[in-house]
Each structure stands twice: as C-alpha cells, then as structure tokens.
C-alpha cells in the first residue's frame, strides 16, 4: 500500500517497513520520507515497524493547493495512522518541521494511540523571535526564505543545505553527494507547498501544545544548529514537556540524522528500549523535571 488517501482526498506516499510496535517518522522541510531511511532500516531490523510518509506537497505525495497549515498536517498524520492500522501503541517522531505535526497531533487529536514521541532538531515550540521568545529567528530572516525561493529556488537550496548539514570552510560532516541528493529531493516538492510550509513552520506557535504531551518524549538537538536555533526550540520544548529527555549534540548541525547518523540511531533505539542499543550517558542526556 504505497499510497493512502487523506480525508480531503490528497494522496500521501507511505513507506512501511518491518513488524512490531509502529514508529511513525515525519520528515523535515523540504525533504521526503527517504531522509529517514537509515533510521527506518535500523528500526525494522530491531523488531519495530517503521512508517515514513511524504508530507502533502513533497516527494511523491499529491500537491494540492491548500492544506499546508499544521491543523491539516496533523490530520494527515492521523489519517496515515488510521489507514496503516498503526493507531495503537505508536511512537511519533518528527524531524525539524515534522516536530510541529507531532505537537499539533498531541493537542488536536489528544495524543490518540500514541505512547511515545520524539522531537528531533524540531521547530517546536516557536521559531519566530518575539518579545517573549527572544532567542527565535527574526521576521526578516524568515521572510527572506520565501523571497529567496521565489527568486532562485535552485540557488537558495544550494546554500540552504550547506548550513543544514554544517558545511563550512573546514567542516564537512557530509559529502557532496549528500548535498546533491538533498537538493534533488527538495526540487521534487511543489512550489506552493514549499512556500506555505515555510510560512507555517516559521510562524506557528506551539507553546500551547506542550501541555498535551503526556507520554515519554525524546528531544534531540544540535548546539551548532544554524537552521533551527536550540535556545528557542529544543531547550524550550524540553522545559515545557513534563518528564522529557533532552539530548544535546555538541556542535552538531541541523541535519544531525545524517551528520550524526549512527549516534542518533542508537539514541532513538535506546529511547524505544531496543535490545542491544547503548544506553545514553548522563553527560549526554538531561531529564527535565517539571
């Protein structure tokens, strides 16, 4: 069943690997479910059922004109869970923009069927810099994303993914092939969805959704993230979610699922209680008590 149909008729491409407890993997902007392949394979090989899907407007999914707000996107997540039969004892894990679907699902759908959650390099709880969110991203920088894409989408993504993966004059956490792959996948997405989702993840305030997290929650974020600053997101999410576990990767970039793939995969398996996974050290993890 490579496709499921949402309640508004949009076709979503779904990858469904393995058997066991379902782990729903929600990709970041502007990629696709394929960005989760390394973790999905490890999950399936460790006795879990890994389900990853292309968000509407991205990858191989349909490209409707509307529905790029987080209420609709969380409804899409609910539809994926229902149509794949993964609506019980599921763990939902969102990377970057995908963290927003996790948060909104927990509040809008009351966390139905979810027993654990993960926020990885996530935009939750709030990206925009405001008086009460001083570590966020200034409005002019968020506005520049849309303007840059409209002017030269190819050139914009070429520069964007260098910061995304932490590429600098000396630092090269990933190779040129990875950068080219990311640019190719980004160009599969429809322009409407790319622009609308950039506006959604930059301006949606999830602070009110945090109280809806009533399950064990893993928060992973790199301290060197130039795309989604940790002070406004990962650290604030951990403070606002009771009993959450924050794991900071010192100096890691936004795309840590690739640049720190082995470490992150092990941390995810550890959180899920997989046999053979190495336990996270006290130095790496801090339990946030509220």
Using CA of residue 41, residue 46, residue 49, residue 55, what is the dihedral sign?
negative
Q: Is the peptide bond before 126 cis (omega within 30 degrees of 0)?
A: no
pLDDT tens across 11-63, in order?
999 999 999 999 999 999 999 999 999 999 999 999 999 999 999 999 999 99
Q: How far apart are CA 115 and CA 91, in angstroms?
A: 6
Domain-by-domain residue ranges, the chain? 3-287
How are strands ordered across the β-sheet holding 49-53?
Answer: 3-5, 11-18, 49-53, 22-26, 90-95, 114-120, 217-222, 245-249, 285-287
pLDDT tens across 108-160, in order?
999 999 999 999 999 999 999 999 999 999 999 999 999 999 999 999 999 99
pLDDT tens across 69-86, in order?
999 999 999 999 999 999
Q: Are strands 245-249 and 285-287 parallel, antiparallel or unpaired?
A: antiparallel
Q: How far apart are CA 193 and CA 63, in angstroms?
A: 7
Q: How far apart are CA 58 and CA 53, in angstroms?
A: 10
Percent of the chain at pLDDT > 70 equals 94
Terminal CA-CA length for the chain: 42
Q: Quote the pLDDT of residue 169.
A: 75
Could you tell me if 242 and 286 are in contact, meaning their C-beta atoms sit under 8 angstroms apart? no
Residues noted as catalytic? 96, 225, 254
Superfamily of the domain at 3-287: Alpha/Beta hydrolase fold, catalytic domain (3.40.50.1820)
């Amino acid at each position: 069943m490579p496709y499921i149909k949402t309640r508004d008729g949009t076709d979503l491409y779904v990858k469904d690997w393995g058997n066991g407890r379902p782990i729903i993997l929600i990709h970041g902007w502007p990629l696709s479910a394929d960005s989760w392949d390394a973790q999905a394979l490890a999950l399936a090989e460790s006795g879990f059922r890994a389900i990853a899907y292309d968000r509407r407007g991205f990858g191989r999914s349909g490209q409707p004109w509307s529905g790029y707000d987080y209420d609709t996107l969380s409804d899409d997540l609910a539809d994926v869970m229902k149509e794949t039969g993964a609506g019980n004892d599921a763990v939902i894990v969102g990377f970057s923009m995908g963290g927003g679907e996790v948060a909104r699902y927990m509040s809008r759908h009351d966390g139905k069927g979810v027993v654990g959650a993960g926020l990885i390099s996530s935009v939750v709880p709030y990206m925009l810099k405001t008086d009460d969110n001083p570590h966020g991203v200034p409005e002019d920088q968020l506005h520049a994303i849309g303007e840059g894409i409209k002017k030269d989408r190819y050139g914009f993504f070429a520069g964007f993914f260098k910061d995304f993966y932490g590429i600098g004059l000396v630092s090269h956490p990933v190779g040129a092939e990875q950068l080219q792959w990311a640019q190719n996948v980004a160009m599969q997405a429809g322009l409407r969805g790319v622009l609308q989702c950039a506006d959604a993840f930059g301006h949606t305030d999830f602070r009110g959704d945090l109280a809806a997290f009533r399950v064990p929650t893993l928060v992973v974020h790199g301290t060197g993230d130039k795309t989604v600053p940790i002070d406004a997101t990962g650290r604030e999410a951990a403070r606002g979610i009771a009993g959450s576990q924050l794991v900071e990767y010192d100096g890691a970039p936004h795309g840590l699922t690739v640049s720190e793939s082995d470490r992150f995969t092990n941390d995810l398996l550890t959180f899920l209680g997989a046999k053979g996974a190495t336990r996270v050290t006290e130095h790496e993890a801090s339990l946030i008590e509220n």
